[in-house]
């Protein structure tokens, strides 16, 4: 299968996303919400009736999270800065804020009907800052310390929207941190890489880590997404709207496996909230068994390009799926003579972390796409609006009507074991919705590799 037909999450920051604009005859009350095509194809109103991620903390190991963004108000915990240069609520890059918003944004104004909303709007975000700028190297010992800290702070899901630089291997600091998280029943989700390579980057490729590739609105893989054995799941990652206080009016559209990873982390939070008795491995089991190849016929799971399929949040929280073994289908990272259980004091020693930087390999964040692709429209209504009737995606609040004042512009492993997935129809959009794009996500998913 071709190397260049999936979403990307390369170690080098990828400023390759494009903000695509199309004219529309009318403007909706909240075009930011309109841009979130994922809410329609995932039938999130129905999903939120089952779970909104309540009581679950998701750690975002990234560039920090701006807690002042109106759509993230009240969602962001104190967190910790591991760069020695500020605090976890400072995000000069904007990447971490975007990831947090895809996971747990809850909108703003009356009934939270304006702005964007994440897939798990009642989850909380633990921001862990491991780099400051887009050109910074995300060192193994730095993000490893952050992962350990996340575990010790009670995070149940850890989002790693980055991959190794140039396909390099994860060093002992990172590997031990991943093992530490797995031993403490935490779901670790990481991006497969944005280079279009026929190999999943680390740390996503490590055993037990949920590695994520990206697909577009039609359910087809994105060209830049890394493929190969060890790919676990795919999720939307093309033309994804996310919060970004560095843009005007604080949103951007982008493409990449970073966003896809955040969506999988959010879905894991939904499952953990709905089924708090499940182990991390059993949560992963539900994600895998509820995934679908949609219209892609003749594929067998795990597929090198789609893994076990495209996530389906509604099915992940509603399907009748046996718990399965506690360790789950992906197993765990085994370290020879290792100290995965060793305390996380290193996670609190920022000076020690900085002292190691010269000898470590690095990882870099992959931009959720082209945060660089930005369009600012002064007082003119955004042309990108999809004209819809009653979309039913106004948010998790009662009724969820769209409303509010629109902003003034818009920015832009080792081999996994065979694990059968279930053949279930993908949920259609909420009643009364009229998505602009054909919805392949509503097709019956044939050939699930059983």
Rounded distance between C-alpha atoms, residue 53 and residue 40, angstroms: 19
* Residue 163 bridge partners (DSSP): 364
The vertex-46 CA angle with 44 and 51, nearest 5°, equals 80
Give whole-number Cα distances, 15 to 10, 93, 123, in Å.
11, 13, 29
Burial class, 323, CB count within 10 angstroms (exposed 0-12 / middle 13-18 / buried 19+):
middle
Q: Which residues contact 359 (CB under 8 A, 6 or more apart)?
A: none
- Tell me how crowded residue 355 is: count the other CB atoms within 10 A of its CB: 11
Place of tokens 């919805």: 439
Q: Where are the beta strands (DSSP E) in 199-309?
A: 210-215, 233-236, 240-243, 251-254
- Paired tokens of 246: 């560095």
- In the chain, % helix, strand, coil (3-state, to 5) comes to 25, 15, 60
User: What is the Cα–Cα distance from 228 to 282, expressed in whole angstroms?
Assistant: 24
Which residues are marked as active site?
A: 62, 95, 258
> Cα(120)–Cα(101) distance, rounded to whole angstroms?
10
Contact between 269 and 53 (Cβ < 8 Å): yes
- The enclosing H or E element of 200 equals none
CB 103 within 8 A of CB 69: no
């Amino acid at each position: 299968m071709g190397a260049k037909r999936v979403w990307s999450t390369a170690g080098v920051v990828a400023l390759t996303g494009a903000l695509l604009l199309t004219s529309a005859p009318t403007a909706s009350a909240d075009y930011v919400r309109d841009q979130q095509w994922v809410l329609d194809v995932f039938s999130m109103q129905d999903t939120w009736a089952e779970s909104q991620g309540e009581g679950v903390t998701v750690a975002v190991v990234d560039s920090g999270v701006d807690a002042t963004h109106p759509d993230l108000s009240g969602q962001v915990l104190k967190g910790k800065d591991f760069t020695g240069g500020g605090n976890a609520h400072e995000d000069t890059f904007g990447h971490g804020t975007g990831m947090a918003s895809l996971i747990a944004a809850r909108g703003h104004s009356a009934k939270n009907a304006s702005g964007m909303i994440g897939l798990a709007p009642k989850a909380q975000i633990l921001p862990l800052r491991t780099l400051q700028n887009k050109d910074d190297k995300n060192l193994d010992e730095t993000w490893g310390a952050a992962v350990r800290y996340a575990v010790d702070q009670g995070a149940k899901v850890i989002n790693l929207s980055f991959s190794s630089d140039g396909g390099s291997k994860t060093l002992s600091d990172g590997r031990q941190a991943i093992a530490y998280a797995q031993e403490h029943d935490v779901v670790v989700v990481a991006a497969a890489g944005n280079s279009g390579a026929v190999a999943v980057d680390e740390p996503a490729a490590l055993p037990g880590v949920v590695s994520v590739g990206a697909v577009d609105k039609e359910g087809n893989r994105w060209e830049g997404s890394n493929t190969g054995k060890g790919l676990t799941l795919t999720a939307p990652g093309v033309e994804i709207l996310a919060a970004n206080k560095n843009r005007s009016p604080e949103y951007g559209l982008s493409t990449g496996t970073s966003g896809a990873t955040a969506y999988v982390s959010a879905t894991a939070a939904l499952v953990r909230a709905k089924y708090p008795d499940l182990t991390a491995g059993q949560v992963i089991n539900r994600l895998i068994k509820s995934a679908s190849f949609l219209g892609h016929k003749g594929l067998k799971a795990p597929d090198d390009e789609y893994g076990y399929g495209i996530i389906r949040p509604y099915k992940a929280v509603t399907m009748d799926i046996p718990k399965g073994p506690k360790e789950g289908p992906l197993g765990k990272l085994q370290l020879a003579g290792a100290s995965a259980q060793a305390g996380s004091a290193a996670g609190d020693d920022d000076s020690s972390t900085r002292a190691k930087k010269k000898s470590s390999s690095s990882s870099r964040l992959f931009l959720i796409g082209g945060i660089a692709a930005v369009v600012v429209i002064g007082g003119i209504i955004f042309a990108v609006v999809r004209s819809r009737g009653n979309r039913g995606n106004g948010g998790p609040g009662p009724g969820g009507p769209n409303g509010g004042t629109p902003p003034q512009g818009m920015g832009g492993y080792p081999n996994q074991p065979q694990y059968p997935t279930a053949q279930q129809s993908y949920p259609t959009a909420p009643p009364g919705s009229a998505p602009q794009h054909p919805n392949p996500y509503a097709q019956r998913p044939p050939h699930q590799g059983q």
